Chain A
């Protein structure tokens, strides 16, 4: 008996929740202790990249809520981001911040692939790039004492809770001064894509907003296509920054800007050395007759380097599409933004689990009629 035609959908839904709770408690695993609860703090710190990802795709910077969503969703990042988004949907807009700049970041990591040394310095910071992906068996049964000892060993006495601010000129600023990059585009007003209908052609602020909430894997696939023959991007990471951005908001009474808090973000600027490829003029890098570097920009909530870099590539690919018409999927903003939203695509993919027997019956009636007619025709 199928779940669809079954009476008592009400009862089935309640039982589904019970079954989920049993599984989360590990009740089916004799070795598990159902009381061993994951704390929100543990999720936020020990699953920090997952928390960041969920905040980014959920479109809300709220680490504790993201951690709760992860717990509630049994660790499924899309489900967790979905919970966050549904919560965010009706939250009132209390204020609008002015445009913030990456130069204001309190950095924990900053690298450039374009130059050996950069003004302000490269800073490797926390990253797994140069670590061997071998199991660390010491994590298997972690002893809290040992963890505390390790922290003390690394930090010594100088426990710092606040990352100091520092001055650093952006890498692309230098290139721009030299005239190798086109001048900055005039700033366009931000678009709240959750409150305004989609305009076509899609303005760049709306594209970037969609990418910020896009699913990391989806954006990565889109960006990878431009490096993998479905496009001709040859990007150089001019600068990748991870740090805490002080967020300023107008004071509700005085209107003066006050620092309301800070959020961890990842920001990336890529320069494409040459657009190239088939298409009019070949060199997409020619603006006003002079060959130039082309910029792509990406930024996302939390620490998510792959997303920031891939987003910058998608941005560049779409800008290339603007200039000479989209020649590849990733250069078409309609294509990109319709496909990178993981919560929408997940929802639609899942909806095929819903009963479709009315339409299927219509298909069957159609097919049988055709078969009947074909038999008659013979």
Chain B
């Protein structure tokens, strides 16, 4: 390949950076952009990838996670591609060391600190898509702050299930104005966006949109005043909070690993955080027996 640092050509870098500046200036607003075709398939993170490539600097330390894991195949493939196209850039699996974190479906468990940047891979940038297929009509709704039909969806869920049945991509209002699709992170992670000290950049490559939650910005999940927003409880039959079978944490998002002829095993989804707690920082591979029989 004849490309320079970051694979993208200068025009693409400039367009994406400008788009991101606009996105940060208008929190939650979806900025349309041309979205380059990447050597990675649409749906596999081309939006997040373009952001990472457009903003990465040689001094950055990059962490790429998919489902909370640094070593799942897609995270590996994306990290390898970024490493190859950004000579000098370091990579890490440790959240605390990373300056740039590209993610799919999770926000790391460890608190983020100022200066770090989160980059999200986004399949559906528009929370209104579940109630309105036409993009021109959706843009009009956003312009008017018209989220009534989203609210009706919540109402209908309450009627039918006595709770809001949206488990991920939970719509959240940013800075009191635009409602965003926070990407398919679980509810557990949505609250981490509120008044977060870092910039959260969202890229939807296939849908060709960029949007952002700037640092220290209000993010509130849509919820009725008398039906509080609740996160995944992770409770066992007795009502007790489940804990990680490896590190014992009782405050993390858990993966359930079904076992043959036995109860499921539960363990931290964020393997880096788990390794930190176990005292093997940066070595999420340390414990081998998690894979089960």
Contact = CB atoms under 8 A, between A and B. Distances in A.
Chain A–chain B contact at Cβ < 8 A: yes
B136 interface: yes
Contact of B42 (A7, A197, A343): A343
B43 interface: yes
Contact of A351 (B44, B161, B162, B253): B44
A105 B249 CA distance: 71
B34 A361 contact: no
Interface in B109-140: 123, 133-136, 139
A132 interface: no
A348 B206 contact: yes
Given A86-B38, A196-B34, A366-B165, A357 B255 contact: yes
Contacts, number: 161
Given A5-B291, A200-B136, A347 B232 contact: no
Interface string A338-371: 0000011011111110111111011111100110
B223 to A, nearest CB: 15
Contacts of B253: 358, 361
A291 B184 CA distance: 52
B72 A362 contact: no
Contact of B123 (A13, A343, A348): A348
B291 A197 contact: no
Interface in A149-182: none
Interface stretch (A88-96, A221-229, A230-238): A88-96
Nearest to A370: B161
B75 interface: yes
Contacts of A373: 162-163
A198 B207 CA distance: 10
Nearest to A338: B135
Contacts of A359: 105, 167-168, 184, 186
B8 A90 contact: yes
Binding site secondary structure of chain B: loop
Say which size band chain B's interface belongs to.
Answer: 35 or more
A195 interface: yes
Interface string A1-24: 101111111101100000000000
Interface stretch (B63-71, B194-202, B212-220): B63-71
Nearest 8 pairs of A and B residues by beta carbon: A351-B43, A347-B42, A347-B41, A197-B32, A9-B76, A362-B167, A362-B186, A348-B43
Interface of B: 3, 7-9, 11-12, 32-34, 36-39, 41-44, 46, 66-69, 71-77, 80, 104-106, 123, 133-136, 139, 161-163, 165, 167-168, 184-188, 206, 208, 232-234, 253-257, 269, 285, 288, 290-292
Given A82-B41, A198-B32, A356-B67, 8 more contacts: A4-B67, A5-B69, A12-B73, A86-B39, A88-B37, A350-B41, A359-B105, A369-B163
19 contacts: A3-B73, A5-B69, A5-B257, A8-B71, A10-B71, A85-B37, A195-B34, A197-B33, A335-B133, A347-B44, A348-B206, A349-B43, A351-B44, A354-B43, A358-B253, A358-B269, A362-B232, A366-B232, A373-B162
Interface of A: 1, 3-10, 12-13, 82-83, 85-86, 88-90, 92, 193-198, 200-201, 332, 334-335, 343-344, 346-352, 354-359, 361-366, 369-370, 373
